[in-house]
Amino acid sequence: MNMALNNTDRPNSYIGRSVTRPNALRLLAGKGRYVTDIKLPRMLHAAFLRSPYAHAEIKSIDTTEAAALKGVHLVATGEDLAKLCKPWVGTLDHFRGMKSAPQLPLAVGKVVWAGQAMVAVVAETRAIAEDALGLIQVEMSELPPVVDIDQAREPDSTRIYPELGDNVAFKLTVESGDVKAAFAKADGELEETFFTGRHTAVTMEPRAIIADYNASEEALTVYHATQTPYQFQDLFSRLYGIRESRVRVIAPDIGGSFGMKLHVYNEDMSVVGLSMLCGRPVKYVADRLESFVSDIHARDHRIKTQVAYDASGAILGVKVDDVTAIGAFSTAPRTSVVEGNQVVRLIGAPYRFRDYRADLSVVFQNKVQTSQYRAVGHPIACLVTESLIDRVGQKLGIDPFEMRRRNIVTSDMYPYTSPAGYKFERLSHEACLDGLYKLMDYPRLREEQKALREKGIHRGIGIAMFVEITNPSPAFYGVGGARISSQDGAIVKITPAGEVQCLISVGEHGQGTETIIGQIVAEHLGVDRELVRVITGDTDVTPQGGANWACRGAGIGGETALQAAKKLKQNVLSVAAAILQSAPGELDLINGQIVNRSDRVERIPLSEVARISYYRSDTLPPGTNPQLTAAHHYSPQGYPFAFTNGVQACHVEVDAETGFTKILDLWVVEDCGRIINPMLVEEQIRGGVVQGLGAAFFEECRYNESGQLENGSLADYLVPMACEMPDIKIAHVETPTQDTELGAKGCGEAGTAASSAAAMNAVNDALAPLGASVSQIPMTPQRLLKALGRG
């Protein structure tokens, strides 16, 4: 393992250490406080009547009987909420020509997916609200549903929104070099079509929200299971016309998010209006069945590819046609085209071929919206790229490691711009590949595989390289007009007892943000970690910032905390210097003591500096003005994104009789720059890998031809279980970014980015001697049997 570069023997040296998470103790005692747990005085509960049809006109709604039920306070239709809430549109300017229809909290006039909320009931209890749903009469007339990506694009297809012209949300062509010439000079070419299944986040805590509108102050407080409280402060304010300074969004403990909890949802927007109409707090928690039909889905792509190569195995050029279906709307505020955009821009990213052309079509259909979910686009791009590399290698009889060594962007090529325009500061593909080769003992595995094949046991080894986008600058969303911040803010203060509080805009969802921020502040200020309390997730309390998306907590949030702590340290030293009649430059702060910089002799405790500053400022020399609070905002500068990289390997055994795959091992070598807490990085990787394995083998939202989700329950939609998952071995390479003093990049999505690809390559390696291969995930037993000609 390539450990942190710090001198870990110095007092308060925490960066690079596997310290435990102070806030986990509360969760371990059953004392977490999730939105689902919160109860406010006089709180009411909302439930939603949902469309049974994928596409239908709403002829009439009769709510009389429901409204008359004892315990019901309000029944609201789409028209009722449309009077309060402005429509929103999920488009951004930098995706030229993209379109999407305006959305409202509840359906008005027609419904466009099965499960879309049509009517809201607010009652004393959730059970009563649900009783009342059964009393609402809705007359509907069905329209032909658009479900298929090709059918959706036909000239005579039903238009989901006739006013948009057609069912195509966005088209993009990415072109670099001369792909025609590359194919013309190639020794060989092959083509393959890949399918990735629509799947969804399945956070263990479903979406949850409580809105509490206070008419006398014209103020709104929202307890929201969200990754991005500031983004929702802006949205609630603008869409409901409430002053931004009076909108408070509190994100307490959150039971999983994975990118799913940062989008605008109809129910969430409704609950704000319902609270305004009732004048009381209103709570809504999605039940699991509702989650399946209303949480965003992701990754519904068909990718046609062609690759040209020469006899040495060098990839010369790649052509891609990606069609992705996103549901009936593009999701606000980030849009549903980002995923496809990232797929076509990340294909081939670790490799050095220059001739590339990709066409992307983003298509509407009558299903729930897709949008950003952990590793947005990466798993698809990686699956396509890595499968192509293996397929070419197989044709030419070149080993997968050798294929990659011959094609990767090497360390002498940085800074490097990919054919699709991504700028890489410095990646470590060779070191990662070499590390993986040793970590998995590749030659031994190959020998074992050979021996077992002779006994009719089909094992496969698959590897997959990845790059991952982290630390996004405004180039991601801001430039497109999105009111989504790329900067973060931190306030660090010394309490009168000489302890420390850090209020910061990046949030905690179990990944360990509070812990790493505490490590950074303690180290850069010079105090014991136990004295640092980190506070997150409250727009009235924590400074403005982007919060949690696209792997930015450690890289951007961490740098913000580091700079704030340094600033505060200077302030502390200048007060101490005034007290000690010394100069700030002659002093240092170590372990909560002001010491001489030269000989580290202790002069005065930090607690004493704080006591004097807060309670006895009269004893300070005239003109001393203690500033024991420091604020700092930091936005990425330099490269638009800090790319990380790594490589994964998967080892499987396929049962050719049943089509079942057993995952035997999984290895990851990753480089996320400076590692702040190795244990937390590794747990992010493991959790991410398992989500990618879920996509590879189990997870798929299966729809029928009328646009109905057929497996929308946790009994029918399979997520990985403990008995199906392997132990995951991890090693690190550290290439800190030079753009920040901290040098950290993100690590939350790297696991998911490549594990599906490694798994597919492993399965195909196992199937190869049987003359079969798959190009679709999830790789269910039925699909494997079909590939084997037995289905």
Partner 1 sequence: MTERVPVSMTVNGEDVQRFVEPRTTLGDFLRVEMELTGTHLGCEMGVCGACLVLLNGKPIHSCLMLAVAAEGETIETVEGLAESKAIADIQQAFHNRNALQCGFCTPGMLVTAHEILKSEHPLTREEIRDELSGNYCRCTGYEAIVDAIEQVFVARAAGREVEASGQFAETAA
Instruction: Respond yes or no on whether the N-terminal peptide bond of residue 22 is cis (omega within 30° of 0).
Output: no
Least CB distance to ligand FES at residue 203 (A)? 8
Nearest Cα neighbor of 752 from 684, 706, 700 is 684
**Interface characters, 412-451, with ligand FES (x: CB under 6 A):** ----------------------------------------
Nearer to ligand FES (CB atom), residue 311 or residue 715:
715
Joined tokens for residue 98: 């993209």
318 binds, among ligand FES, partner 1, none (CB under 5 to 8 A by kind): none
* C-alpha distances out from residue 83 to 27, 80, 209, 272, Å: 41, 6, 21, 13
Partner whose binding site includes residue 229, from ligand FES, partner 1, none (CB under 5 to 8 Å by kind)? none
CB atoms inside a 10 Å sphere around CB 64: 10
CB of 202 to partner 1, least distance (A): 6
Nearest residue to the partner ligand FES, using Cβ: 204
> For ligand FES, which residue of 204, 601, 715, 723 counts as binding (CB under 6 A)?
204
Exactly one of 10, 11, 18, 410 binds partner 1 (CB under 8 A); that residue is 18
The CB-of-715 to partner 1 minimum distance in angstroms stands at 5
Stretch of residues binding partner 1 (CB under 8 A), selected from 331-339, 633-641, 722-730, 776-784: 722-730
Q: Which of 500/788 has CB closer to partner 1?
A: 500
Of positions 73, 111, 205, 429, contacts partner 1 by CB under 8 A: 205
Instruction: Determine which helix (DSSP H) or strand (DSSP E) holds 111, and give its type and residue range.
Output: strand 110-111
Q: Between 204 and 723, whose beta carbon lies closer to ligand FES? A: 204
Question: Could you give the CA distance from residue 80 to residue 273 in angstroms, rounded to a whole number?
Answer: 9
Q: For residues 229 and 510, which CB has a smaller minimum distance to ligand FES in the complex?
A: 510
Residues with Cβ within 8 Å of residue 433, at least 6 apart in sequence: 401, 404, 405, 408, 465, 647, 669
Binding of partner 1 by 9 (CB under 8 A): no
Q: Does 689 bind partner 1 (CB under 8 A)?
A: yes
| Secondary structure class of 576 (helix, strand, coil) | helix
Q: In the 8-state DSSP scheme, what is residue 225? A: -
Measured in whole angstroms, the distance separating CA 122 from the mean position of its chain's CA atoms is: 32
Of 425, 104, 115, 134, residue with least CA distance to 273:
104
Q: Is 30 in the site for partner 1 (CB under 8 A)?
A: yes
Comparing CB distances to ligand FES, the nearer of 256 and 678 is 256
Residues 34, 38: Cα–Cα separation, whole Å? 7
Q: Which amino acid is at 85?
A: C
What track of x and - describes contact with ligand FES for positions 241 through 260 (by CB under 6 A)?
---------------x----
Please report the DSSP string for 9-63 in residue order: TSTT--TT-----TTHHHHHTT---BGGG---TT-EEEEEEE-SSSSEEEEEEE-
Q: Does 510 bind ligand FES (CB under 6 A)?
A: yes
- The option from ligand FES, partner 1, none interacting with 670 (CB < 5 to 8 A, set by class) reads none
177 binds ligand FES (CB under 6 A): no
Q: Which is nearer to ligand FES, 480 or 510 (CB)?
A: 510
Distance CA 39, CA 125 (A): 12
**Comparison of 30 and 155: residue with beta carbon closer to partner 1:** 30
CB burial of 289-326 (b: ≥16 within 10 Å; e: otherwise) equals ebbbbbbbbbbbbbbebbbbbeeebbbbbbbbbbbbbb
Note whether 727 binds partner 1 by CB under 8 A.
Answer: yes
Provide the 10 A C-beta neighbour count for residue 163: 8
Stretch 641-680: interaction string toward partner 1, x if CB under 8 A: --------------------------------------xx
To partner 1, the closest distance from the beta carbon of 457 in angstroms equals 18
Beta strands in 115-239 (DSSP E): 117-123, 137-142, 168-176, 188-196, 199-200, 208-214, 219-224
User: 382: phi > 0 → left, psi -120 to 50 → alpha, else beta; which?
Assistant: alpha
Peptide bond into 415 cis (omega under 30): yes
Backbone angles phi, psi at 571, to 5 degrees: -60, -45
CB of 675 to partner 1, least distance (A): 15
Q: Residue 289 corresponds to which tokens in the numbers above?
A: 């069945």
Closest among 117, 95, 223 to 169, alpha carbons compared: 95
Q: In the window 743-782, what residues touch partner 1 (CB under 8 A)?
A: 751
One residue of 4, 15, 16, 21 binding partner 1 per CB under 8 A: 21
CB of 260 to ligand FES, least distance (A): 13
User: What's the min distance (Å) between Cβ of 256 and ligand FES?
Assistant: 5
In sequence order, what E strands does 642-710 have? Answer: 642-654, 661-671
In angstroms, give the least distance from the CB of 38 to partner 1.
9
691-720: which residues touch partner 1 (CB under 8 A)? Answer: 691, 713-715, 719-720
Q: How many Å apart are CA 222 and CA 38, to the nearest integer?
A: 11
21 interface partner picked from partner 1, ligand FES, none, CB below 5 to 8 A per type? partner 1
- Contact call for residue 29 and partner 1 (CB under 8 A): yes
Q: How many residues does the chain have?
A: 791
Residue 29 or 204: the one with the smaller Cβ distance to ligand FES is 204
* Residue 203 vs 428, nearer CB to ligand FES: 203
Helix residue ranges per DSSP H, 378-482: 378-396, 400-407, 429-439, 442-454
Site residues for partner 1, window 396-435 (CB under 8 A)?
A: none
**From 16, 145, 229, 255, residue interacting with partner 1 (rule: CB under 8 A):** 255
Q: Is 288 in the site for partner 1 (CB under 8 A)?
A: yes
Q: Which of 6, 24, 584, 768 binds partner 1 (CB under 8 A)?
A: 24
Q: In the Cβ-directed half-sphere of 257, how many Cα atoms lie within 13 Å? A: 28
Assign 270 to helix, strand or coil: helix
Asked if 474 touches ligand FES (CB under 6 A), the answer is no
**Minimum CB separation from ligand FES for residue 27, in Å?**
8
Residues that bind ligand FES in the complex, under the rule CB under 6 A = 204, 256, 510
Residues that bind partner 1 in the complex, under the rule CB under 8 A = 14, 17-22, 24-34, 36-37, 39, 70-71, 127-128, 131, 201-206, 253-258, 287-288, 509-512, 529-530, 679-680, 683, 686-691, 713-715, 719-723, 725, 727-728, 751
